[in-house]
Amino acid sequence: MRLLIVEDEQSLREQLKQRLVDKGYSIDAAADGREGLFLGSEYPMDLAIIDIGLPEMSGIEVIKELRKQQKNFPILILTARSNWQDKVDGLEAGADDYLVKPFHIEELFARVNALLRRSTGHSTSLLEYTPLSLDTARQEVKVNDEPVDLTSYEYRVLEYLMLHAGKVISKMELTEHIYDQDFDRDSNVLEVFVGRLRKKIDPQGIFRPIETVRGRGYRFSLTAETDG
């Protein structure tokens, strides 16, 4: 999942970025509204965290502009003011949720997770495709109720595919949503990840959850038992 952070306060931006990277998201960060708008318009984001009080261009303007460009990824606003006028202004401009500063980082994770789930049409954080299950909140993967240990990148690949289960996801799209802008796209590292992922979740090759669609990409092909 690729997230955009637009926050002018450097220490908070760095802290958020670090914590979200640790959580397995790929992050693009901008220090002002203009840069944030550029990143949000040019790269395929899954979610944006935007501070309302930004230099150059206010967070509200950035949100309005993104929505005008038909960018429909969820937006979480951060505001230092807890009055309703500001919250309502942000939500009316096109944001989906708000968080008042100061906040617990756990609260931010929960909101981000809920928004991502909501945007992919899932109502719970648990994605179950027997015998595979993935909890987006805890970032846990289980096969037949046995936890599977995945690296952060492997988890990201699996989560993205599972959130878009049944759809063919091109390598390009997958790469873009899993890595930030500095990633070298020409390498075949993605294929390596998918290969390792297949071995970890399905060592015997029994249910083959990830299908390779030749020339087009990958598809998560299990059918859901319980899908919100």
Binding site for other proteins (CB under 8 A): 82-85, 87-88, 91-92, 95-98, 100, 102, 114, 118, 123
Return phi, psi of residue 8, to 5°. Answer: -85, -20
Closest approach, Cβ 95 to other proteins, in A, equals 8
What's the order of all strands across the beta sheet hosting 97-100? Answer: 26-30, 2-6, 47-51, 75-79, 97-100
Measured in residues, the chain has a length of 228
Q: Name the residue nearer to other proteins (CB basis): 109 or 207.
A: 109
Q: Name the residue nearer to other proteins (CB basis): 88 or 192.
A: 88
Closest approach, Cβ 90 to other proteins, in A, equals 8
**Strand 2-6 with 26-30, pairing:** parallel
Q: Name the residue nearer to other proteins (CB basis): 96 or 154.
A: 96
Q: Name the residue nearer to other proteins (CB basis): 6 or 75.
A: 75
CA-atom Rg of the chain in angstroms = 18
Structure tokens at 1: 């999942």
β-bridge mates for residue 146, sequence order: 143
Closest approach, Cβ 89 to other proteins, in A, equals 9
Closest approach, Cβ 85 to other proteins, in A, equals 5
Q: Name the residue nearer to other proteins (CB basis): 58 or 175.
A: 58
Structural contact between residues 50 and 78, judged by C-beta atoms closer than 8 angstroms: yes
Closest approach, Cβ 132 to other proteins, in A, equals 24
